Amino acid sequence: MNPWFFLALVLAGIAIALWVPKWRLRRALAAPFPPEWEDILERNLGVYRRLPPALRERLQTLIKQFLHEKHFTGAQGLQITEEVRVTIAGEACVLILNRPAGVYPALRYIIVYPSAFVVHREGSNADGVVSASPRGLLGESWQKGKVILAWDSVLRGSRNFADGKNLVLHEFAHQLDTEDGAADGTPLVGGEHSYRSWAAVMSEEFKELQKASYRGRESLMDHYGATNPAEFFAVATETFFEKPRQMAKYHTELFEALSGYYRVDPREWRSG
């Protein structure tokens, strides 16, 4: 075979391999948003009806891309239905409504359990003895392209979009946090000045939450956010989207930092 002809075939194959996924995505995005998906969002996503029309349309586009690219798997007998897929996709995409960085490009798999699941993790005691102990979880976010969720908690958090507790927002905030390769509570926020400003606000707010947790004092944010900076960012994200007015009033700098990062103001989605 003529080597030039062989090279042309190889290059053509590469071009097709690169073009086909893009063509499939364009076709998925061009398809009408199914009415049954909108019914699911109106029933399960508490904030959906309150979104301005432009943001609602943007959310639908993101959902179509999310469902086109991500693979769902049910665990412990859970059947992956359209309700499961659309509800999770809708909540996850609320976080990226105005963000330009893509639809969780590193994420590939979402594993869904019916309810809390048990994992066995190794730990060491004060004497350095390592042992594995069971631990019940509602969700996990892995840097290796995977999110694990308990469906009953997903549904509860999605339908009540005002109590400051939302499993999907929490776990997908972790996904955003690790886009720079580290789970440290500092996602990709911009240039050096932006990082300094972010670090100053987050560090101060994290310390205050730690104090409140240590003293058993009530706080707007769940005390679980005092665990470490990564959990603080995830808990603060839940509060920002679900209790924006309270956060803006009592944690003004934190609210402004998160509003700048997510590029939305959830106060505008509240009635009354």
Supply φ then ψ for residue 79, to 5 degrees: -90, 130
**Which stretches of the chain are DSSP H helices?**
3-30, 35-44, 53-69, 82-94, 151-159, 167-177, 192-215, 229-242, 244-250, 252-262
Q: Is residue 34, in this structure, part of any structural domain at all?
A: yes
Structural domain for 181, as ranges: 30-116+130-269
* Alpha-carbon 61 to chain mean position: 16
Going by C-beta distance under 8 Å and a sequence separation of 6 or more, which residues neighbour residue 175? 104, 106, 107, 141, 147
Mean pLDDT across the chain: 88
Span 164-200, pLDDT tens digits: 999 999 999 999 999 988 999 999 987 777 899 999 9
**Confidence tier at 263 by pLDDT (50, 70, 90):** very high
> Is residue 230, in this structure, part of any structural domain at all?
yes
pTM to 2 decimals? 0.87
Q: Is residue 149 part of a domain?
A: yes
Residue 22 domain-assigned? no
Would you call 186 helix, strand, or coil by DSSP?
coil
- CA dist 251 and 3 (Å) reads 67
- 8 A C-beta contact, residue 208 and residue 177: no
Output the domain CATH number for residue 260.
3.40.390.10
| Domains held by the chain: number | 1
Q: Three-state DSSP class for 182?
A: coil
pLDDT level of residue 2 (50, 70, 90 thresholds): low
Assess if residue 9 is contained within a domain: no
Is residue 19 domain-resident? no
Pairing mode of beta strands 71-74, 130-137:
unpaired
The answer to whether position 52 is within a domain reads: yes
